Structure 1
Amino acid sequence: MTNVFQRELKNHWYVQYNEMSFPAVQKGWVLEPGNWKEHDPFILLAEDWFKRGTFSDHPHRGFQTVTYVIDGRLEHIDNHGGQDILEPGDVQYMNAGSGARHAEEAVDNDIAHTLQLWLNLPKELKNTKASYQNVYKEHAPVVPFEGGQVRVYSGEIGGVKGPLQSLVPFHLVEISLTAGSSYHLHLPENHNAFVYVLSGDVLFGMNEINLKKTGAATLTSKVDGKGEKESELYIKANKRSKVLVYSGVPINEEVVAYGPFVMNTMDEIKEAYADYQAGKFGPPVKS
């Protein structure tokens, strides 16, 4: 195993939260927008607490969203007749592609607590048809290990494939550990990756850098890495802990993100706004 690239924490921080105006409650950036090259293919990761009415009918184009429900219930409604309710541990994938129009609402009087990832699309896929997929917690397979388990939503871990079918392949796993347990996570060598601690107290990498709840970090990467080769991240829990790990292959294209659109040029952003105003994204969402 000496030839396996050992991942370490590159940059690490704790999420800062801001109180929001009703019906939003609180927001924090796990991955702040603007660091396109460093986080490629990831655009941002937002952690939100919100009541119904915060994310009503709105458009997107040019990227994918991956929404993980931490607490509360989240109702998805789109303008093609799609509707479902997601609960803690469930994940929703959306390919906005050429244009999506949807709503993401807390159910009844719930406060929905979610993590929403914006995952970029390469230029050749930005005009694909919008689509959605829900992955319920019980449908995401689990890889057990001594003292814990890995729930695989997307990608392949330990020979087990997650059910999420994204246009741009990426990994999303939830790692649960008991106090004192450890795990060696294997990721494709050419992936850019980051971690977020949902709960507990965790040591990462052979350098054993400590992160507690709301701690986030990017991982060291191998610029000339190969997809068929694995890298390894050592994880050890000081107490009962839960960690999310995201990884994907960098796209290495120009990124222009403005409002609800992510394109390659400002002209394409202007075109997206014009198309939306012209009704090309379809009718409003009925909620």
Structure 2
Amino acid sequence: MSAQNPNKSAGLLQRSVKDHWYVKYDEVGFPSIQKGWVLPVERWKDFDPFILMAEDWFKRGTFSDHPHRGFQTVTYVVDGRLEHIDNAGGRDILEPGDVQYMNAGWAARHAEEGVEEDIAHTLQLWLNLPKHLKQTETTYQNIYSENAPVVNVDGGSVKVFSGHVAGVEGPMKSVVPITLSEINLTQGATYIHRLPETHNAFFYVLSGDMDFGENGVHLKKHGVGTLTFHDSGNEEKMSELVIKANSRRSRVLVYSGTPIKEEIVPYGPFVMNSMEEIRQAFRDFHNGKFGPPAK
């Protein structure tokens, strides 16, 4: 699909970069190799509805059988191969550019493994569930790169995994709707990315060198930025984020979603609204209510 590079629109919020930083990485014990926090969990109120994002390099055995409750995950495979195994009989292998969505809901139990001798390199986003949806059914969805629609723009392309973006709809069906787009631009190209003005949004630079927003913040690979938005605006009205590539093969992921505005307690593998609910989740897991191991 093709589209012309749009011009900025009068009357629409022009997004600026509110905060930005570079991810710092730590070496960790084998079979895990390296970890960095793209979105650190202690700042979840700033990122709402997003809780955290971890960037991991790991081999088989790092994320074997484990439980979750009360949130969703969106996992983007950067490199290597990732095997998903769940205790409902699901098993699949995801490759670079693929995405897995999981609604942990009330009781997920799964494993995320490197395949054979591969080093899996992933970005895993934790996406909150509002209180009334924390007991929903556990579901998984794999979105293979080739099944996400691609819109060609001047000097690049936009691949849409989730939400209505650039005139297409991504295949990901999250319980709490979000947008997720992968934007590839060549040197000198400028693209205007449109998002609902009420969405809290952030981006992560996968490669290259780019300028973002009305304030032209310059970030390279491993750079993260959060964006201004209209918290009490009109969810039907769009806003615009200007992105300019300064090097060839510049690639960025952009995520956005409506804030849930609830207090949460992220603790271990669970995200609930109180410590008592966290304790109940641990009791339920130890009492076998999450089902058999994923293997």
* TM-score class normalised by the smaller sequence: over 0.9
1:66 and 2:74 equivalent? Answer: yes
Amino acid at match of 2:194: H
* Paired position in structure 1 for 2:55: 47
The Cα of 1:14 is off from its aligned counterpart by 0.2
1:38 and 2:46 equivalent? Answer: yes
Identity %: 67
The Cα of 1:259 is off from its aligned counterpart by 0.0
1:167 to 162, 166, 175: 175
In structure 2, the gaps of 5 or more residues are 1-8
Amino acid at match of 2:285: Y
* Paired position in structure 2 for 1:252: 261
Aligned length: 286
Q: Distance in 2 between matches of 1:197 and 1:158?
A: 20
1:94 and 2:102 equivalent? Answer: yes
3-state SS of paired residue (1:76)? strand
1:177 and 2:185 equivalent? Answer: yes
Q: Distance in 2 between matches of 1:127 and 1:12?
A: 34
In structure 1, the gaps of 5 or more residues are none
Q: Distance in 1 between matches of 2:138 and 2:179?
A: 21
The Cα of 1:125 is off from its aligned counterpart by 0.5
3-state SS of paired residue (1:275)? helix
The Cα of 1:36 is off from its aligned counterpart by 2.1
Residues 4-50 of structure 1: per-residue CA shift (max 9 Å, x gap): 00101000000000001000000000000021211100000000000
Q: Distance in 2 between matches of 1:237 and 1:36?
A: 29
The Cα of 1:223 is off from its aligned counterpart by 1.8
Amino acid at match of 1:139: N
Q: Is the 8 A contact 2:64 2:110 kept in 1?
A: yes
Amino acid at match of 1:90: D
* Paired position in structure 1 for 2:286: 277
Q: Is the 8 A contact 2:199 2:231 kept in 1?
A: no
In the TM superposition, 1:9-48 aligns within 5 A as: 9-48=17-56
3-state SS of paired residue (1:35)? helix
* Paired position in structure 1 for 2:13: 5
3-state SS of paired residue (2:280)? helix
- Give the RMSD, CA atoms, in angstroms: 0.6
The ranges of structure 1 where at least 4 consecutive aligned residues each deviate by more than 3 angstroms after the TM superposition are none
Residues 226-278 of structure 1: per-residue CA shift (max 9 Å, x gap): 11000000000001200000000000001101000000011100000000000
